[in-house]
Amino acid sequence: FGARPTEDRVVHQGKVVTSAGVSSGIDMALWLAGRIAGDDFARAVQLLIEYDPQPPYDSGSTAKAGPELTGLIRERAASFR
């Protein structure tokens, strides 16, 4: 269908906006709020929902997780098919 993988958490192309996962859905909502109502409003929403991500691990992307962990996850995911 022409989709290309990206490490971006929020992707905007034409009329379509997508996000990569659960917390990036919040990122997308804040991005949309900024586009619709302005950056100050989006910042206020972020403060109201106290969205201040501080994950306990820094392996939330293939680039950060490294080939060993990424390979392990791919192997396990393949076993569910």
Q: What's the pLDDT tens digit per position in 21-63?
A: 899 999 999 999 999 999 999 999 999 999 999 989 999 888 8
Predicted pLDDT at 80:
86
Report d(CA 35, CA 25) in Å as an integer: 15
Query: pTM for the complete prediction?
Result: 0.77
HEC letters along 4-31: CCCCCCEEEECCEEEECCHHHHHHHHHH
Predicted pLDDT at 47:
98
Q: Tokens 């691990």 belong to which residue?
A: 57
Name the DSSP letter for residue 42: H
